[in-house]
Chain A
Amino acid sequence: MLKFILRRVLQLVPVLVLLSMLVFLLVHLVPGDPIEVLMGEGNSDPVVEAQMRAKYGLDRSLPAQYITWIGNVVSGDFGTSISTKRPVLEMIAERFPATLTLAFSSALLAVLIAIPLGITAALFRNTAVDFLAMGSALIGISVPSFWFAILLILVFAQYLGLLPSMGYAPFSQPLDALRHLILPTLVLGTAMAANITRLVRAEVIEQLGRDYVRTARAKGAPENMVIGLHVLKNAMIPTVTLIGIQFSGLLEGAVIAETIFAWPGLGKLAVSAVAERDYPMIQGIVLVMATVCMLVNLLVDLSYRLLDPRVKLH
């Protein structure tokens, strides 16, 4: 087990290196640099600009800049944000909890809805319950999340005045924090739930058609917990995979939700960093987000072992 984990973590490294080069290149391809941003419109002062470029090492060649940056990253220094002058890691750490909170609550909502719904739909296949569940799921994956968000805000914040339309309250005020969390979670969670419901239903149906279930039924054994547990475990493997994939999609869908709900998370920070050409910040955020995604997928792979000891981890 340990060897497996170690090997997978090591495999992360080349991907991350490739990613770092990709983001470095991409970010420098975009026209304009942070000094242009700092100077602003209607100001060209070559003396100041040259000085500032030298100060931030932006006058050196691209490979040289990359090597310096990646070297620092490896020793834990993600650099300093050029627009706010604060350490990148510090700003990421500040914002991370907000995005993570949103991602986790959405994933939780999704799983809490999808798994029972999917199982029920599978068990009552081709009945009204099934059609209702599948119809909702189909609608759920087709509704544009930003439209849904707008409609929710219109109804709950404006007309009913029940929930806040934007912002984030820290956990020190738990009730307020929850109120602010509800709408964004609904938006992100329902889309994810729709996807997962469809998969769970398909998986459970497939498992119910498998030999061991049919044998048990033929033997006249009651549909008991043991079979149910097996069906569930087997259906969960692809489900958990999907959750893992969707989680990375969550971090990204969070960008739209964060924009609409003014949620101060990483997504918003990344978007404003791009607007400000804050190279260290963009690079830092992409690396962090990618690492989190890959770690989540690693966890997913590890969970296979729990769900089915026969699964060989290779």
Chain B
Amino acid sequence: MLSSETKALGLRILRNRLAFIGVALVLLVVAAALVLPLVLPWDPNGMDIDNALGAPGNGHWLGTDQFGRDLLTRLVYGAGISLQVGLLVTLCSLVLGVALGGTAGYAGGATDASLMRAMDALLAFPGLLLALALVAALGDSLWAIVLALTIVGIPRFARVVRATVLQRKEEDYVLAARALGKRPVKILVQDILPNCSGPILIQTTLVFPGAVLGEAALSFLGLGLPPPAPSWGRMLQEATTVMEIAPSIAIYSGLAIFVTVLGFNFLGDGLRDVFDPRTARQN
């Protein structure tokens, strides 16, 4: 059972216009990703060459792609890919970023300086080239992409956590805990980090859509999951070749990316409004 506080928070979120639209769009995408594969009869990889680039009809609601595969089904499976990558990237960046930022903030001194410099170096590295090199080195697997996108996401969490830790570590309750001999890791986890939940949540709402957009960009450039995986970015790229005779594929795949990212951005804005209108400045 949800506590009354949580329920109240939930209501506040839903009452916020932005968050409401965001939740609606996100639920739409998630539902499509989870439910439609069970409902649609087509195999996303089932080819039907004679019906390539076919117009809508015969059970193909949005028509077919260059190999006669059902477009709607592929878009729906593509949602699964985008959401999966978004989730993995956000989780990994969160865990690693919080760990690094917390350590840097708490330890201070040389550890802080070197960790932050290392992060600067990582940030200064052009992300796309990093992704290119990683995919070339590790092959076109899910984990190569997640790794490439996570590296870009870590500093966001790290910075924000470090700032909060720096702020809080001289406060009374922390000093007391240290005096009591509590281990630093425990202090971090139990006393300080819960206070970061606001900023962390906000970064999450920024990193997730960024990861979805990043995966689309990578697969657009050919660095995504191997074929025949229906990554939206890849579908968009392949659709540009036939745009003059079948523009719908390019339009729908781009639209899918747009709507998903938009939904998460709406949600993020709404959540930021709800939690702390002032912290909306942290982009």
Contact = CB atoms under 8 A, between A and B. Distances in A.
A248 B152 CA distance: 13
Given A31-B136, A154-B243, A256-B128, 11 more contacts: A19-B124, A31-B137, A144-B216, A144-B217, A146-B217, A146-B233, A147-B258, A150-B240, A199-B281, A202-B280, A294-B124
Interface in B212-263: 213, 216-217, 220-221, 233, 236, 240, 243, 250, 254, 257-258, 261-262
A164 interface: no
A274 B129 contact: yes
Q: Which bracket fits the contact residues of A?
A: 35 or more
Main DSSP-derived SS at the A contact region = helix
Contacts of A290: 121, 124-126
Nearest to A18: B121
A252 B137 contact: no
B121 A144 contact: no
B254 A138 contact: no
Contacts of A31: 136-137
B281 A15 contact: no
B283 interface: yes
A64 B221 CA distance: 35
B258 A138 contact: no
B37 interface: no
Contact of B118 (A18, A146, A199): A18
Interface in A128-150: 138-139, 141-147, 150
Interface in A181-217: 195, 198-199, 202-203, 206
Given A30-B136, A286-B126, A203 B281 contact: yes
Contact of A144 (B122, B240, B258): B258
Contacts of A30: 133, 136-137
A136 B126 CA distance: 28
Interface of A: 14-16, 18-19, 22-23, 26-27, 29-31, 138-139, 141-147, 150-151, 154, 195, 198-199, 202-203, 206, 238, 242, 248, 251-252, 255-256, 259, 267, 270-271, 274, 282, 285-286, 289-290, 293-294
Contact of A274 (B133, B217, B233): B133
A150 B124 contact: no
B125 A19 contact: yes
A267 B129 CA distance: 9
A286 B125 contact: yes
Nearest to A191: B213
Contacts of A139: 262
B136 A146 contact: no
A282 B265 contact: no
A23 B118 CA distance: 13
Contact of B283 (A16, A151, A206, A242): A242
A282 B279 CA distance: 39
Given A142-B209, A144-B261, A270 B281 contact: no
B124 A15 contact: yes
B254 A144 contact: yes
A138 B266 CA distance: 8
Given A144-B258, A238-B281, A18 B128 contact: no
A17 B261 CA distance: 37
Interface of B: 117-118, 120-130, 132-134, 136-137, 209, 213, 216-217, 220-221, 233, 236, 240, 243, 250, 254, 257-258, 261-262, 265-266, 269, 278, 280-281, 283
Contacts of A267: 126, 128
Contacts of A144: 213, 216-217, 220, 233, 236, 254, 257-258, 261
A289 B137 contact: no
Contacts of B209: 142
Contact of A248 (B118, B124, B132, B265): B124
A139 B257 CA distance: 12
Most buried by B among A138, A144, A267: A144
B133 A259 contact: no
Given A143-B258, A146-B220, A202-B281, A15 B133 contact: no
B283 A198 contact: yes
B262 to A, nearest CB: 4
B124 A29 contact: no
A280 to B, nearest CB: 15
Contacts of A195: 283
Contacts of B261: 142, 144
B121 A19 contact: yes
B111 to A, nearest CB: 15
A150 B235 CA distance: 13
B261 to A, nearest CB: 4
A199 B124 contact: no
A203 B124 CA distance: 26
Closest A-B pairs by Cβ, 5 of them: A147-B254, A290-B124, A142-B262, A18-B121, A142-B261
Nearest to B243: A154
A88 B48 CA distance: 49
Contact of B254 (A19, A150, A238, A251): A150
Contacts of A238: 281
A118 to B, nearest CB: 12
